[in-house]
Structure 1
Amino acid sequence: MGEEYVTLKINGEEKNYKKGTLYLDIAEEYQKDYQDDIVLVTLDNRLCELHKKADKDGELKFVTTADAAGRKAYRRSLTLLLQKALYHLLGKKKSVIRVMHCISQAYYCELVEYGKPDEALLQRVKEEMLRMAEEKLPIEKSSMGLDEAVALFHELGMTDKERLFRYRRSSNVNIYSLDGYLDYFYGYMVAHTGYLKYFDLRLYDDGFVLMFPNENTKKVAEFKPSVKHFDTLNSAREWSQTMGVGTIGALNDAIAQGRMQEMILVQEALMEKKIGELAQKIASSQHHKFVMIAGPSSSGKTTFSHRLSIQLATLGLHPYPLGLDDYYHSREKCPKDENGNYDFECLEALDVELFNQDMQALLHGETVELPTFNFKTGKREYKGRTLKLGEGDILVIEGIHGLNDKLSYTLPKESKFKIFISALTQINVDEHNYLPTTDGRLIRRIVRDARTRNTTAQETIAMWDSVRRGEEKYIFPFQDSADVMFNSGLIYELAVLKSYAEPLLFGIEKTAPEYMEAKRLLKFLDYFLPVPSEEIGRNSILREFIGGSTFHV
């Protein structure tokens, strides 16, 4: 009987390979045509690891470390390499590590039993990681039964994973092994340690950071942490641990035990308390006339501005909400990006001169007719909406450029109070898998846009990379200039959003380019037990996304 072959379409050409050929071998054949390392492949739009064998015909595409899926696989695999190096150097107990946050193209980690590390330890760990990278040790994947996996995690002392998989619906769990070290990871891995050459370790706060490449995939990115961002993440993390829900498994325990009503009430009360304290801080100065609010997509800026305005009103002030979107240039004057599309996210899309002219007039006690932007016609309109600032009046201005002083360049510094708002994650998947803040915001946006803009999940996912690029360019560079950073994230929100998001994600066809991302998000949401939305208050930031808000959002 002759050998069997499969036909793969690669870069527009069909090629035959012996059935059972490793994708790793095919990737090595084509690596010379790619600047960045090939770490995964897709076969007919389905993501595959390189240790898999070609066993059927289809279109094969290569995924490199420059692609989002490849970048995530690289970072996951490097985390496993770090764990193995620590285990080898410190032993089972002292090497227990928690991956806490993602900051500035790096993972912030802490050693649970060892305590605060020093430079000497990090140097030893780095040398051990590089040694294993040189050896090109295979990262092997195996499947085991759910009960067996729970028992394994119990034996390894990985209690977060043990709790997580108590609620797993599937009967099997994929386990990764590196030179005998076993762990579970949320997502795919590279084939061997030979890919993992580009990293660095640096002391930071009470732990250290594992640093990664970014755009240049073969050079470690510069570490530029935002101190305010890190402190806000730590504060959220500490509060979630105080509530006993630092991970998804712990959250599921709380849901299963019927503790969610209390948790929702407590967290909403805490958020209201923080907004009230913020209002007190603003009101304490006679000079503050403009509250400038900015933050990335789906942070809940609109609901937050309304709730802050209410708190300011309780202190005797008269707040007036104002959206920067009303100062857009008419469509024909809007700049275009490199693809010829209107760039609504750049500062030049706003009529900065008119904004400053109006704000200066208000500051000097003049009456100003405020514009309203008509998004259907693409033109600015005037509908008799006038404003004159009195003694206790204050403008609450919300928009992506709110913290950029180029927007409000004529306004005195002391007249502005700046707030950066973002939905920062308060729980993690488990010890070694942090929960990306961007995933939470994307799911928020999928649910909101389907409800308010009749936008499909596929369309929202398709535009997300562009949205993220705009945030990196126009929003995040200004976060440290804020007087206050506010976290709008809620511990239980993904358990609530799950029921809204899943049907939208299941609606994406398998042939669509966005299917892989939809599948990843569905797998992610599958970790959560659902929480019904009936207990969510009408003024909750979550209502901005699921509907039923007391505000017009």
Structure 2
Amino acid sequence: MTYKLEQINDQAARDPKGFIEGSERRYHTQVEQTAASIVACMKQRPIVLLNGPSSSGKTTTARLLGEALMGHGVHAEVISMDDYYRTRSEYQIPKDEEGVDDFESPLCMDLPLLNDHLQRLAAGEEICVPHFDFEKQSRTDEVECLSLDPDEVAVIEGIHSFSDTITGGLEDKATCLYLSVASSVSLSDGTVLAPEMLRFMRRAIRDRNFRGAPVEATLRQWRSVRRGERLYIAPYRHHATQYIDSYLPYESCILMQMLQAEIAGREEEMRAVGLHEVFRAIGCFAEIDYQPYLPENSVLHEFIG
């Protein structure tokens, strides 16, 4: 779906409460409908593989999906593949063709452990899931032991969750859910902010807030992120049987206000990584009075806190 800037700004100024509530309702309705579909086939497919590109909101959606399933009387064990990243100091980070660290590569993950855990979980055995600290870039001593009972489902989220190499055919026993920002925004001059550009805005704020990375670091990494999506996600999208668009039309008003001072003066850097349209959007989005109306379970909290 393509949203027009004028409509976004009008709703942000005229009725911020209604704008936010309507945007959230559209997203949560998709989550509820997906939960109902999972319950309908859980006996044959007790695993949910949640895939999607960077900053789609996989962590929050996995949690909300678990809550929606509880509404149907089904308990969900939620596992993030991010917790299977290896401690940064213990391996040589792979590089892309331009010599940039390729953190999207599955080689950054503990593949033997992850594959073993997925297969054991599907077989009903107990596993002990590790925990990865992104600020320290290291695995902690924390583990969470769990097993999958006959009346439970497992929700496994991560950018590699559809990969044949990692899941080892697990998709045959799973509902494959693809989450993305599937919407775009058309500016007044005809410039279009494509889905990946809207995701960049999310990621830049998230990296700054939660991963100790300034905007310039996200910009340096962005081309490698997009390369990783083409190599590690796109080839496996055909596994998807369910889809959710996590874009909240009001979010761009908030994210651009947070981001614009940091990207001002970076026009050439942004052009070089395919984000010149985001630079052109500086000052275009209206401010929105969101704090009184932003729900606690909004996917936007994953990025702004």
Whether TM-score is above 0.5 comes out as: yes
Counterpart of 2:238 in structure 1 is 480
* SS in structure 1 of the partner of residue 24 of structure 2: helix
- TM-fit CA distance, 1:287: 2.0
- TM-fit CA distance, 1:275: 0.6
Counterpart of 2:32 in structure 1 is 276
* SS in structure 2 of the partner of residue 514 of structure 1: helix
- The answer on whether the counterparts of 1:494 and 1:525 sit within 8 Å (CA) in structure 2 is no
Counterpart of 1:393 in structure 2 is 152
Q: 1:410, 1:522 → 2: CA distance?
A: 42
Q: 1:255, 1:468 → 2: CA distance?
A: 30
Decide which of 416, 419, 424 is 2:182's aligned counterpart: 424
* 1:514 aligned onto 2:262: no
- TM-fit CA distance, 1:325: 2.1
- TM-fit CA distance, 1:315: 1.0
- The answer on whether the counterparts of 2:86 and 2:109 sit within 8 Å (CA) in structure 1 is yes
- TM-fit CA distance, 1:334: 5.2
* SS in structure 2 of the partner of residue 370 of structure 1: strand
* SS in structure 2 of the partner of residue 427 of structure 1: strand
* SS in structure 1 of the partner of residue 220 of structure 2: helix
- The answer on whether the counterparts of 2:135 and 2:212 sit within 8 Å (CA) in structure 1 is no
* SS in structure 2 of the partner of residue 525 of structure 1: coil
Between the two proteins, the alignment pairs up a number of residues equal to: 299
* 1:545 aligned onto 2:303: yes
Counterpart of 1:343 in structure 2 is 102
- TM-fit CA distance, 1:305: 0.9
Counterpart of 2:126 in structure 1 is 367
- TM-fit CA distance, 1:300: 1.1
**Larger helix percent:** 2
Decide which of 61, 78, 93 is 1:321's aligned counterpart: 78
- TM-fit CA distance, 1:486: 1.2
The amino acid across from 1:428 in the alignment is S
Counterpart of 2:247 in structure 1 is 489
Counterpart of 1:149 in structure 2 is none
* Identity rate, percent: 29
Segments of 5+ residues of structure 1 without an aligned counterpart are 1-235, 238-245, 548-553
Q: 2:213, 2:135 → 1: CA distance?
A: 16
- TM-fit CA distance, 1:447: 1.5
Q: 1:389, 1:350 → 2: CA distance?
A: 23
- The answer on whether the counterparts of 2:204 and 2:215 sit within 8 Å (CA) in structure 1 is yes
Aligned Cα root-mean-square deviation (Å): 2.7
- TM-fit CA distance, 1:469: 1.1
Q: 2:184, 2:279 → 1: CA distance?
A: 20
Which entry has the higher C-alpha Rg, 1 or 2? 1
Decide which of 166, 172, 177 is 1:407's aligned counterpart: 166
- TM-fit CA distance, 1:432: 4.4
Decide which of 17, 33, 44 is 1:261's aligned counterpart: 17
The amino acid across from 2:27 in the alignment is M
The amino acid across from 1:514 in the alignment is E
* 1:447 aligned onto 2:202: no
- The answer on whether the counterparts of 1:319 and 1:393 sit within 8 Å (CA) in structure 2 is yes
- The answer on whether the counterparts of 2:80 and 2:156 sit within 8 Å (CA) in structure 1 is yes
- The answer on whether the counterparts of 1:400 and 1:475 sit within 8 Å (CA) in structure 2 is yes
Q: 2:161, 2:276 → 1: CA distance?
A: 35
Counterpart of 1:528 in structure 2 is 285
Relative contact order: is structure 1 or structure 2 higher (C-alpha 8 Å, sep ≥ 6)? 2
- The answer on whether the counterparts of 1:334 and 1:342 sit within 8 Å (CA) in structure 2 is no
- TM-fit CA distance, 1:482: 0.7
- The answer on whether the counterparts of 2:184 and 2:198 sit within 8 Å (CA) in structure 1 is no
- The answer on whether the counterparts of 2:85 and 2:132 sit within 8 Å (CA) in structure 1 is yes
- TM-fit CA distance, 1:529: 1.3
- TM-fit CA distance, 1:376: 6.8
Query: What CA deviation, in whole Å up to 9, does each residue of 1:196-223 have, x standing for no partner?
Result: xxxxxxxxxxxxxxxxxxxxxxxxxxxx
Decide which of 183, 195, 215 is 1:457's aligned counterpart: 215
Query: What CA deviation, in whole Å up to 9, does each residue of 1:44-102 have, x standing for no partner?
Result: xxxxxxxxxxxxxxxxxxxxxxxxxxxxxxxxxxxxxxxxxxxxxxxxxxxxxxxxxxx
- TM-fit CA distance, 1:329: 4.2
The amino acid across from 1:343 in the alignment is D
Counterpart of 1:50 in structure 2 is none
* 1:312 aligned onto 2:57: no
Q: 2:71, 2:123 → 1: CA distance?
A: 25
* SS in structure 2 of the partner of residue 407 of structure 1: helix
- TM-fit CA distance, 1:342: 5.2
Counterpart of 1:92 in structure 2 is none
